[in-house]
Amino acid sequence: MLILLPPSEGKASPAGKSRLDLDSLAFAAQLGPKRETLISALAKLGRVSEKKAIEALGISAGQAGEIARDAELASAPVAPASAVYTGVLYDRLDFGSLTSTGRKRAAKHLLIASALWGFLAPSDRIPYYRFSMKAKLPKIGGLPAFWRGPLAEAMEGAGHDEEGALVLDMRSSAYSAAWKPKRARLVTVRGFTESGGKRKAISHMAKAVRGEVARVALSARSMPKDLDVLAGLLEQEGMTVELTEKTLDIIERS
C-alpha cells in the first residue's frame, strides 16, 4: 500500500546551517531536473515586478513577502518534510509521535505530493516555500502537465504502478491531476458529516480524517495490505467506514 498525502499551505520555517541538497531528495534521478527548473524560475521571478510575480504564483498582495523567500530556496535552511508541513492533516498524523516502526513504514509506504518537489519522502529535507499547483510560471505553464511525465516514470520505477498495487490517495484534485496510476488501484479517502440522512463533504473534516487514516495504517501491528483490513482497523478506532472500488469514506453522523 502506498499512501499519498497532499502538501499543506501552512509550513514551519526551518532553522540551522543545513541547506538544500537536491541529490538527497527522493527520486532525484527522475525529478531532480524538474526541481532545478522550478527553483531557477522562482529565483528569476524574484527579479521581476511584484505584480507579475503575484500573478504567476497565484497569491494575494498580502503574501508578496513570499516572493523573496521563494527566490532564495537554494540558500534557505532545511528540515524534514514531515516537520515542515503543518496544518490539520499533519497534526492528526503527528509524525513526531509515531513509533520507530511507524516511521520506518512511512519511509517505505508514504509520499507527500508537492507542486515544487513532485513527490517527497517524509525525511527529505526541504526549506520553507510558498508554491501551489495553481501557480503558472513563465515558459513553464500548468504544473500538473509539467510534472506528469517524470512522476509517471518515478512511480513506475519504484513499483507503485503495477497490477495489484494499492494507492491510497489523500491529495486534492489539483495534485491528483499530476499523477494517476495506469495499472495500480487508486482509492480516494474522503470525509463526510451526516445529519438527518443528508451527507456533506467538509474540507476541514476531510483533512482531519485523512491524517487519522494515515496514522492508523502506519501504527497497525502490520501494514494493511488491502482495504478490507484497513477498514477493519479504522472501525476498531470507532470510525464509520464505507468502501467502494474507488473510495474509502469516513462518515461522522450526528
Q: Given a cut of 90, is residue 236 above it in pLDDT?
A: yes
Q: Are strands 247-253 and 185-195 parallel, antiparallel or unpaired?
A: parallel
CB of 189 within 8 A of CB of 181?
no
CB of 224 within 8 A of CB of 180?
no
- Residue 205 is placed in which grid cell? 473534516
The per-residue pLDDT for range 85-144, each reduced to its tens digit, is: 999 999 999 999 999 999 999 999 999 999 999 999 999 999 999 999 999 999 998 999
DSSP labels for 140-200?
TEEHHHHHHHHHHHHHHHTT-SSTT-EEEE---HHHHTT---SSSEEEEEEEEEEETTEEE
pLDDT of residue 211: 97
How far apart are alpha carbons 64 and 227 in whole angstroms?
43
pLDDT of residue 195: 87
Give the number of domains in the chain. Answer: 1
**Domain of 53?**
2-253
pLDDT of residue 253: 83
What are the backbone dihedrals phi and psi of residue 9, each rounded to the nearest 5 degrees, phi first? -70, -40
How would residue 204 be classed by pLDDT, with cut points 50, 70 and 90? confident
The per-residue pLDDT for range 10-60, each reduced to its tens digit, is: 999 999 999 999 999 999 999 999 999 999 999 999 999 999 999 999 999
Largest CA distance in the chain: 55
pTM: 0.96
How far apart are alpha carbons 13 and 217 in whole angstroms?
28
What are the backbone dihedrals phi and psi of residue 72, each rounded to the nearest 5 degrees, phi first? -120, 30
pLDDT of residue 249: 96
The half-sphere exposure of 92 on its side-chain side, counting CA atoms within 13 A, is 18
